[in-house]
Structure 1
Amino acid sequence: MADNKKDDVTGVETTGHEWDGIRELNNPLPRWWLWLFYATIVYGLLYTIAYPAWPMVNRATGGLLGYSTRGEVAEEIARVEAQNAEVAAQLAAADLNTLDPSSPAHSYGIAGGAAVFRANCSQCHGAGAAGARGYPNLLDDDWLWGGDLNSIEYTVRHGIRNEADPDARYSQMPAFGEILSTGEIAAITEYVLEISGQEYDAGMADTGAELFADNCAACHGDDGTGDRMQGAPNLTDAIWLYGGDRDTITETIHDARFGVMPPWGPRLSDAEIKAVTLYVHGLGGGEAAPEEE
């Protein structure tokens, strides 16, 4: 490292650094850049005083201006809700079975229902509503409790097999592992495989048919097509909530299943419940209202 001295050509003092005969000039920073740098420091300090900034144990400093991003979002939500209050009230009071598909309330319901579904239902039923193991597919036309508008709304509002709502849909399959022998369960499994159109053991299925009639038909029906009043699934189709292979059917019979859906009545408004009902009904598997007897 060489001693600091002035450059012979420019007359500027050097830093004392030299590389292959090239010396580094110690030119001062431009005044405008230096003052801009100082200004950003001052601005940063003032910003941390005026706005939330400094982290503390369980919160951050509030800032002299009291600004809050959450408050800003809340104000925006309140503004939009006020803007849509009239059409939301129309939807909340509407009979979904007679609601005009061309009405603003119906359009608002479909769009709002999609948002409600993404925020509250997609975690279980999937972003596309195709479901998963133990969570029903809402795109098909296979419904445990009914797929018309009234049935879907009731299910959303009260839920299934929960302890929070006394009006929740409720059914319980016994764990036949505590009632039947391993051989009897295996025979029923073969019979279920038969009626669902899969490969099965004919001899065991004959025995299973009798056991099915004695133990399962009360809920699933004599022909195994299910009963929506009890939430008993149709065992003759190819749609399975937990799986339809031999091992899974055996497990279901032995241990039973007990899926739970929370009631959304206490969490969502009437307009939101009806909106998500319209959305789910319109996904492809929605059914017409049953004819009055």
Structure 2
Amino acid sequence: MDKPRVDELTGRETMGHEFDGIEELNTPMPRWWLWTFYATIIWGIGYTIAYPAWPMISGATAGLLGYSTRAEVAAQIDAHEAANAGLTGALLTQDMAAFDPQTDLHRYAVARGGAVFRAQCSQCHGAGAAGATGYPNLLDNDWLWGGTLEQIAYSIRHGIRNETDNDAHWTEMPAFGEILEPEEIAAIAEFIPTLPVSGGEGSGATLFADNCASCHGEDGTGDREQGAPNLADAIWLYGGDYDSLVETITYSRFGVMPAWGQRLSEADVRAVAAYVHGLGGGE
């Protein structure tokens, strides 16, 4: 094996390879860098011994110091709850119909509810609560089951059309594709945009009166007791164009909302209701 060539200018050996006439010198790392590197290795080994680090089958090594980020967060949460115990207790006993927006309690509820909304509700209703197709806009004044503080809290607590809470709001629109002919569905879809009307004429009006008015009302303004939406305004959960109306009438809709009372504390449910109500769409 040939010995590496010695560079005439620096007096150092080369690495023995060449790129486009350029040779690399065999220059050792500075001692200070090497000692720093060795120190970081020692520190890293010590850290994995002292703190949770190595993944095991059912968890990670606990570390000699027994430190836990989960325990630290839990302690911070407990401290926060203790500091706000008085306001939380008042929130639980507050008559929601008599909530005063000018009080510290209401401000606390809105701040707490906003945090819960962003963590639990924004995935469906959007960060700004404007909703999306199939997910209600919470900023307008169109509420299927009412928009008072108490009604909003009830909807959050028990949810809509879920199978986990016996008190959930429940209403189901028939799939008229199994009841009516396609041309009859088309006639209704053409008639609905003409609402509100009284004594409308034509096959669409007759079919609407026979099949839809019992829930949505003769004038199409809906019925909150049944959760039947208002068809006479410009607010549509699944779209108000002809094709969307035909699809809705044919196959119906069946949106589901979880019963958040099974996942959140009662204080959080009330706080979210206060936050949503304060967005401007609540009644």
Conserved 8 A contact 1:144-1:232: yes
Give yes or no for the alignment of 1:227 onto 2:228. no
Alignment map for 1:159-178 (pairs within 5 Å)? 159-178=159-178
Q: Which residue of 2 aligns with 1:128?
A: 128
Alpha-carbon distance between aligned partners in 2 of 1:81 and 1:56, rounded to the nearest angstrom: 34
Paired residues for 1:35-46 under 5 Å: 35-46=35-46
Match of 1:216 in 2: 212
Cα 1:7–1:185, aligned 2, differ >3 Å: closer, same or farther?
closer
For 1:120, give the aligned amino acid: Q
CA shift in 2, pair 1:49/1:211, >3 Å: same
Match in the other structure for 2:244 = 248
Classify 1:14/1:220 alpha carbon distance in 2 versus 1 (closer, same or farther; 3 Å).
same
* Residue type of the alignment partner of 1:29: P
Deviations 1:171-212 (A, max 9, x none): 111111111111211111111122269xxxxxx961111111
Match of 2:271 in 1: 275
2:203 to 207, 229, 240: 207
Conserved? CA contact 2:136–2:237, under 8 Å: yes
> For 1:27 and 1:213, how far apart are their aligned partners in 2?
92
What's the offset of the Cα at 1:92? 1.2
In structure 1, distance between residues paired with 2:24 and 2:101: 81
Q: Which stretch shifts more, 121-130 or 19-28?
A: 19-28
* Alignment correspondent of 2:154: 154
CA 91–2 in structure 1, closer or farther in 2 if over 3 Å, else same: same
Note the alpha carbon deviations across 1:193-250, whole angstroms, 9 max, x for none.
Answer: 22269xxxxxx96111111111111100011110111110111111100010111101
3-state SS of the aligned residue for 2:108?
helix
Equivalenced residues, count: 277
Distance 1:33 1:253, change over 3 A: closer
Alpha-carbon distance change, 45 to 214 in structure 1, aligned in 2, over 3 angstroms: same
Provide the C-alpha distance between the structure 2 equivalents of 1:101 and 1:78, rounded to a whole number of angstroms: 27
Q: Distance in 2 between matches of 1:125 and 1:90?
A: 28
Matched residue type, 2:243: D
Q: Counterpart of 2:30?
A: 29
Partners of 1:101 and 1:21 in 2: CA distance: 76
Is the contact between residue 7 and residue 14 of structure 2 (CA under 8 Å) also seen in structure 1? no
Code of the aligned partner of 2:209: A
**CA RMSD across the alignment:** 2.7
The answer for the alignment partner of 2:115 in structure 1 is: 115
**Cα pair distance change 1:22/1:261, threshold 3 Å:** closer
Output the CA distance in 2 between the equivalents of 1:8 and 1:279.
Answer: 76
Is 1:236 aligned with 2:237? Answer: no
Aligned-pair identity (%): 59
1:99 aligned to 2:95?
A: no
CA 1:2/1:106 → structure 2, altered by over 3 Å: closer, same or farther? same
Correspondence for 1:200: none
Question: What residue in structure 2 maps to residue 88 of structure 1?
Answer: 88
CA positional deviation for 1:55: 2.6
User: Which amino acid in 1 is paired with 2:172?
Assistant: Q
> Distance in 2 between the 1:23 and 1:95 partners?
80
Tell me the residue number matched to 2:62.
62
**1:72 to partner: Cα distance:** 1.7
Hey, what's the Cα distance between the residues in 2 that align with 1:23 and 1:272? 66
Q: Counterparts of 1:196 and 1:244 in 2: how far apart (Å)?
A: 14
TM-score, normalised via structure 1 length:
0.85
Whole-Å separation in 2 of the counterparts to 1:220 and 1:22:
86
Q: What is the alpha-carbon distance in structure 1 between the residues aligned to residue 8 and residue 72 of structure 2?
A: 59
Deviation track 1:238-275 (CA, whole Å, cap 9, x = no partner) reads: 11000101111011111111111111112111211111
Amino acid at match of 1:114: G
In structure 2, C-alpha distance between the alignment counterparts of 1:36 and 1:109, rounded to whole Å: 52
**Preserved CA contact (<8 Å) 1:175 1:256:** yes
Amino acid paired to 1:131? G
* 1:201 paired residue number: none
Q: C-alpha displacement at 1:29, in angstroms?
A: 3.2
- Structure 1, unaligned stretches of length 5 or more? 198-203, 288-293
- Equivalent AA in structure 2 for residue 14 of structure 1: R
